[in-house]
Amino acid sequence: MPKTSGLARAEPFLASERDAVYKAIFTRRDVRDQFLPEPVPDDVLKRLLEAAHHAPSVGFMQPWNFITIRSQPVRNRIADAFGRANDEAARMFPEERQSDYKALKLEGIRKAPLNICITCDRGRGGDVILGKTHNPNMDLYSTVCAVQNLWLAARVEGIGMGWVSIFHDADLKTILGIPERIEIVAYLCLGYVDELYERPELQVKGWNRRLPLDELIFEEGWRGKT
């Protein structure tokens, strides 16, 4: 059998397909509180994880694992770990911002029926990895690409997702039995939603605003503050 090149035609998407992709990008939100209790069916979860697993990765290393958590007692323990870390976090902000910080809802661990912890196995594939030879963090960046694929796929399915990063990793590792050598990249809360903020919740609540894109683009070299 003749060897094929493996290449296929790369047509631009039809207008409606293109609009759907941008719609997913622009209407994706970080969700903390709008979760409905309906479980995420296994076949839908499989689609989401396939989307995550099709993310790009350095040297095609695919360093991720996906720990799915539905158990309420486990989620309760994780929510308690969040609560401890969040109290510490609140104290790190200037005094005048602490009450605003405490008023923010920053997780949906108990409310979201499905939680997923995405990890990075930094040793997968051996010591020398194509593309990671000069920047060892590339495996972590690859894993973040998987998170974003999952986030966009969830939006398309009518599922909201929230990233929770206010933890001591050691707490998550103990609760989930994650080996020491494995890095935690993301702890995510997922569930169906029937409402989403039109703009980032942190903007709606006056915590931060979207920066003007023009200020972030430098042509031909660094033009910002040194």
Ligand X SMILES: Cc1cc2c(cc1C)N(C[C@H](O)[C@H](O)[C@H](O)COP(=O)(O)O)c1[nH]c(=O)[nH]c(=O)c1N2
Instruction: Give the nearest residue (CB) to ligand X.
Output: 200
Residues touching ligand X: how many (CB under 6 A)? Answer: 12
Separation of alpha carbons 108 and 188, rounded Å: 9
Tally of CB atoms within 10 A around 141:
15
Q: Which of residues 27-56 bind ligand X (CB under 6 A)?
A: 29-30, 32
At residue 72, φ and ψ (nearest 5 deg) are: -65, -45
Residue from 24, 140, 175, 202 binding ligand X (CB under 6 A): 202
| By CB under 6 A, residue 166 contacts ligand X | yes
| By CB under 6 A, residue 200 contacts ligand X | yes
Separation of alpha carbons 223 and 226, rounded Å: 8
Separation of alpha carbons 94 and 99, rounded Å: 10
Site string for ligand X, 78-107 (x = CB under 6 A): ----------------------------xx
Least Cβ distance, residue 86 to ligand X (angstroms): 9
Least Cβ distance, residue 104 to ligand X (angstroms): 7
Burial label for 204, CB within 10 Å (0-12, 13-18, 19+), is exposed
Least Cβ distance, residue 61 to ligand X (angstroms): 20
Separation of alpha carbons 70 and 133, rounded Å: 38
* Cβ pair 132, 59 in contact under 8 A: yes
Least Cβ distance, residue 219 to ligand X (angstroms): 26
**Which residues are near ligand X by CB under 6 A?**
29-30, 32, 106-107, 162-166, 200, 202
